[in-house]
Amino acid sequence: MQRQLPGLHVPISACSSNSDWETLHKAIDVNNDGVTVGRNQFFWITRCLAEGSQCHGFTETASKSSECRPEYKWQLAWGKPAGQPRYRWLHIAVPTCCSCAVTFQPRTRDNPPP
């Protein structure tokens, strides 16, 4: 997601990130189990530069906040599930983008609508 600051013509990302080809040694599979990833496999990975930080261009209030978080997609990989003796093809979670997550606080007496 990109936002444009007033007076500027160059859009900036709400959450800064960096992408590159990387090898993984450990990962999580679709059953949320640990996996040892086989050697010499490269994945296009995007990582947040400031994971957990406030999103650029977002004004926080008492009722809403923002946070840069990684998003994961499933990629096919040659790996060995934890506790298994053999390697096989399986899907692992790979970080593919950095997104702005907006959280709204529930309304209470201490947090009335504006």
| DSSP labels, the chain | -EE--TT--S-EESS-EEEEEEE-SEEEBTTS-EEEEPSS-EEEEEEETTTTSPPTT----SSEEEEEEEEEEEEEEEEEETT-SS-EEEEEEEEEEEEEEEEEPPPBTTB---
What share of the chain has pLDDT > 70, as a percent? 83
C-alpha–C-alpha distance, residues 84 and 51, integer Å: 33
Contact predicate 16/56, CB 8 Å: yes
Mean predicted confidence (pLDDT) in 95-113: 79
C-alpha–C-alpha distance, residues 19 and 22, integer Å: 9
Structure tokens at 100: 């702005």
Residues comprising the chain, all counted: 114
pTM beyond 0.75, yes or no: no
Name the more confident of 7 and 114. 7
Q: How confident is the model at residue 1 (pLDDT cuts 50, 70, 90)?
A: low
Q: Which domains does the chain have, with CATH numbers?
A: 2-101 (2.10.90.10)
User: What confidence score (pLDDT) does residue 10 get?
Assistant: 64
pLDDT, the chain, mean: 88
